Amino acid sequence: MDESGKIACLICCICFILPTILIPIGLCLQSIKPRCYINDFYAPALNTHIPSNATSSNTFIFFDLQLRNMMEENSLRYGDLNLTLFYGPDGNIPVANYTVPGFKQGKKNTNDWRDVVETHGLPWNDAIKAVSNGSKVVFRADLVADVKLKQMFWSKKKKMVLKATVEVDGSGEKVHGKPIRLKSFAS
């Protein structure tokens, strides 16, 4: 093989083999980190400004859940999003579940869900007593979903497990005005 043939072979190797190696490496390094927030959280039964007979039978929680895809290059495909709400300082009493069916989220896209869940097993009398005394009660929100990133011919699937603590006062609303970010269990 003459010198020009060797150069042509080298160029072919660089053009075809190198991308085949670099694409999977780049995919492995690509971070799947959508951001999830609780923008609003309201438990009417804990609103001490409303007469007690109007709130005691309202055992619902209203919330606004937001999911942001921060990646400019890739869309994400989610399996079912499962949101579980827990009550108590240790967050050990499950009180409500909410499921969003799987969906595709575009690049740099944001999805919002404003909804209501009915609670079960929440000790409302204890919670009402606590907020009536000026204390706060604590809820924990856990969000679990499978997330799939597809990049050209390669795909990567990860389990997303996030949580956040939500403090509620006598207004029945979350204490902090800013959205609460759900973070990884590992952090």
Judge if 98 and 18 occupy the same domain. Answer: no
Judge if pTM exceeds 0.85.
no
Judge if 96 and 150 occupy the same domain. Answer: yes
Q: So what's the pLDDT on residue 23? A: 63
Cα atoms in the Cβ-side hemisphere of radius 13 Å centred on 176:
12
Q: So what's the pLDDT on residue 187? A: 41
Judge if 95 and 7 occupy the same domain. Answer: no
Judge if 8 and 56 occupy the same domain. Answer: no
**Maximum pairwise Cα distance, the chain:** 94
Give the residue numbers spanning the domain of 152: 33-184
Q: So what's the pLDDT on residue 142? A: 96
Judge if 26 and 37 occupy the same domain. Answer: no
Judge if 57 and 149 occupy the same domain. Answer: yes
Contacts of 101 (CB under 8 A, 6+ apart): 80
| Residue-by-residue pLDDT tens, the chain, 187 positions | 677 777 777 776 677 776 676 666 555 555 567 899 999 999 999 998 887 644 557 889 999 999 999 888 888 999 999 999 999 888 889 999 999 999 999 888 999 999 999 999 999 989 999 999 999 999 999 999 999 987 767 778 889 999 999 999 999 999 988 999 999 875 4
Number of domains in the chain: 2
Q: So what's the pLDDT on residue 113? A: 95
Judge if 10 and 41 occupy the same domain. Answer: no
Judge if 21 and 44 occupy the same domain. Answer: no
